[in-house]
């Protein structure tokens, strides 16, 4: 297109060079969007290969190495999230109970005190809430994790608009589950 514009400037009889300005601007915006999408997919690929992905952070952001890293949904009550839900606020973790368990949806308690794992594992993704599986889910992709109906889990990272939520199971394993398959309770600030 730039070459066409140069030809039009050098030979106005072939066309109007200013008619290409709007198209050039649209193409530049499209290229920007595609570059952002490329970065997103490169981050997905790096995550799948187990590489740490870092992004530019601001005062309200944190570093993450997940495929869903644009923002964190804010809500203090139980809700069912849906893929593609707009994300409004960031959440900060709060300290858990003395026994390491967290109260879940009307009285069920998850006791994570007897897990065999190192503290460094858990520092990477602080707990921001708890959830209950509404349906069974069989993990088919790398990074996802299977769950049984009514299974209680901790939320490590809320759905970032891609339809997946990072959770930790009682056995200490973590991975992504479909956000629409879980009922979440996020902890307040």
Q: Give the per-residue pLDDT at 28.
A: 81
- Region 163-179: mean pLDDT is 94
Higher pLDDT: 79 or 45? It is 45
pLDDT digits (tens, 9 = 90+) for 97-143: 444 444 444 444 555 554 444 444 445 778 999 999 999 999 998 89
Question: For residues 144 and 165, what is the distance between their CA atoms, to the nearest angstrom?
Answer: 9
Clarify whether residues 42 and 109 are in a common domain: no
Clarify whether residues 43 and 115 are in a common domain: no
- Percent of the residues in the chain that have a pLDDT greater than 90, as a whole number: 27
At 103 the three-state DSSP class reads strand
Q: What's 135's domain CATH number?
A: 2.30.30.40
Clarify whether residues 44 and 112 are in a common domain: no
Quick check: is 40 in a domain? yes
At 159 the three-state DSSP class reads coil
Clarify whether residues 38 and 112 are in a common domain: no
Instruction: Quickly count: other Cβ atoms within 10 Å of residue 2's Cβ.
Output: 9
Question: For residues 181 and 54, what is the distance between their CA atoms, to the nearest angstrom?
Answer: 28
Domain count within the chain:
2
Clarify whether residues 115 and 182 are in a common domain: yes
Q: Look up the pTM and report it.
A: 0.39
Question: What is the extent of the structural domain holding 143?
Answer: 102-186
Quick check: is 112 in a domain? yes
């Amino acid at each position: 297109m730039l070459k066409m514009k140069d030809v039009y400037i050098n030979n106005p009889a072939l066309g109007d060079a200013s008619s290409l300005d709007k198209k050039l601007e649209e193409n530049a915006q499209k290229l920007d969007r595609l570059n952002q999408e490329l970065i997103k997919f490169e981050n997905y690929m790096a995550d799948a290969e187990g590489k740490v992905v870092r992004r530019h952070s601001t005062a309200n952001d944190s570093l993450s190495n997940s495929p869903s890293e644009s923002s964190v949904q804010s809500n203090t009550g139980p809700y069912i999230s849906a893929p593609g839900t707009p994300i409004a606020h960031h959440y900060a973790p709060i300290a858990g109970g003395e026994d390491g368990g967290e109260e879940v949806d009307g009285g069920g308690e998850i006791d994570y005190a007897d897990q065999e794992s190192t503290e460094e594992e858990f520092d990477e993704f602080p707990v921001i809430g708890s959830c209950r599986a509404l349906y069974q889910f069989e993990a088919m992709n790398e990074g996802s994790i299977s769950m049984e109906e009514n299974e209680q889990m901790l939320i490590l990272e809320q759905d970032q608009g891609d339809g997946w939520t990072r959770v930790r199971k009682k056995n200490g394993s973590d991975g992504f589950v479909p956000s629409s398959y879980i009922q979440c309770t996020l902890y307040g600030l």
